[in-house]
Amino acid sequence: MSNTRSIFAQGTGLCILAAACWLGAGAFPLAAQVTDGAGVTVDLGGVPLMHRTAVAYPAAALAQHIEGMVAVEATLDASGNVTDAHVVSGTDELRKTALLAVLQWHFGRAEAGTTRMVTIRFQTPAPAIQPAPVTGLPGVTSGMISQQMVAAPKTTEPQRITGIRISGLGDPFKDELMASLPVHQGDLFGPDTLTTLTAAVRQYDEHLGVGAMHLASGGLELRIAAPGGNIAPTAGMLTGTVGSPAAPNAVQVGAAIQEANLIKRVMPAYPPLAREARIQGHVAMNAVIGKDGTVQNLTLSSGHPMLAPAAMEAVKQWVYKPTLMNGQPVDVATQIDVNFTLADQAPAQQ
C-alpha cells in the first residue's frame, strides 16, 4: 500500500559525490498527530491503529452544509492492512471521502484477518472555525510528497547518527519498531546504512518512509514516518522543499497487495560498473499507477546512485491490472522495491 522530506547521504568519497546528484528525500508524511478536518469525528470503536491518514470534510458538502454519519466496514489482511472496505450506511455526498480514507489505514496486528466497523461523523463547524487543510500544507494528501534533490554536505568524513525519530505510530508500535532496528544512535552513517534501515523498516510496515536529516550543528538524524506522521523542520536542520503529489486523489495501496496485480514486469539490467565494483542493494521507489494500470509517476525514495537509474527505467515500463473501487478504476499510490543481488546476477522485486 499506501503517509518534510530530507536528504539522503550514502557513504564517503565517490558515493557522497554521486549522492548529491541522485539521492532524494525519503517519503515523509506531514502531520505529527492525525488532525481531521474541522467538523470531522472518527470513531474506531476502541480498536488500535498503527497509523492512519486524516479525514477532510468534502468541500462541496461543507459549502452546502451537508452533515451526517458514514459507517464503513473494513476487511483486514494478515498484517492489519485494509484490503477492502464498503460503506454500510451514510449520506451519499460523504461516502466517497470516508471510503477513500479508510482504505489507507493500517490497524494493529492483533486485528489481522478480521473485519472492523468505523464510523465517521461530519458536522458543519461553527462559522468562526475555518476548516484547516488535513496535512497542514497545501496540495499534499495521502502522506505523499514529491522527491526533492538536495546536495550532500561537502565532507568525506563519515557522520555519526545523533538520533532516530519515528513519527505517525502509536507508542506501543513505535517502541516495537525501535527495538527491531539494526541501526542505533551513536553508530556511524555508512554507505549501506539507509539500505539496511529501509529493509528492516519496511519488513515491519511497508507504508513507512525512511530518510536522513543533516543537522547544521553536525551529525545526522534518521527519520521514519508513517502516513499521518510529521517530521516538522526545527532550528538547525537542513531541509528540502515540499512539493505537490502527482496524483492527489490516488488511493494508497501496500506494495505486497499491488504486487499481486502486476501483469507485465521488465527486469532491470544490472549496471556493468556497479557489478564490477561489487555494488548491490535495495532501490525503493514511490509510484503512481494510473487507471489503465501503467506507471504514471515514479520518484526515488532510496537506493545506491549507481543502481537507481536502472531500476527506475525498468519499473517505468511495468503494467498492473487496474485497481477498482466501487467497480470504477482509480489511480493508486504505492511503493515499489527492487533488489540488486550479485549472487543472482539479476535484480528481483522484493
pLDDT in tens, 49-84: 888 888 989 989 998 999 999 999 988 888 888 888
Where exactly does CATH 3.30.2420.10 map onto the chain?
40-122
**Is CATH 3.30.2420.10 correct for 40-122?**
yes
> What pLDDT was estimated at residue 112?
86
**Is CATH 3.60.21.10 correct for 1-33+133-350?**
no
Comparing 19-33, 55-69, 70-84, 225-239, which segment has the lowest mean pLDDT?
Answer: 19-33
Where exactly does CATH 3.30.1150.10 map onto the chain?
1-33+133-350
Pairing of strands 220-225, 159-167: parallel
Taking the C-alpha atoms of residue 30 and residue 5, their distance in angstroms, rounded to an integer, is 9
| 139 pLDDT higher than 50 | no
Non-local (6+) Cβ contacts of 82 within 8 A are 74, 75, 76, 102, 103, 104, 105, 106, 107
Comparing 30-39, 122-131, 323-332, which segment has the lowest mean pLDDT?
Answer: 30-39
| 148 pLDDT higher than 50 | no
| 246 pLDDT higher than 80 | no
Taking the C-alpha atoms of residue 142 and residue 150, their distance in angstroms, rounded to an integer, is 23
Cα→Cα distances 39→34, 54, 212, Å: 14, 12, 36
| 48 pLDDT higher than 90 | no
The interaxial angle of helices 171-180 and 193-204, nearest 10 deg, is 140
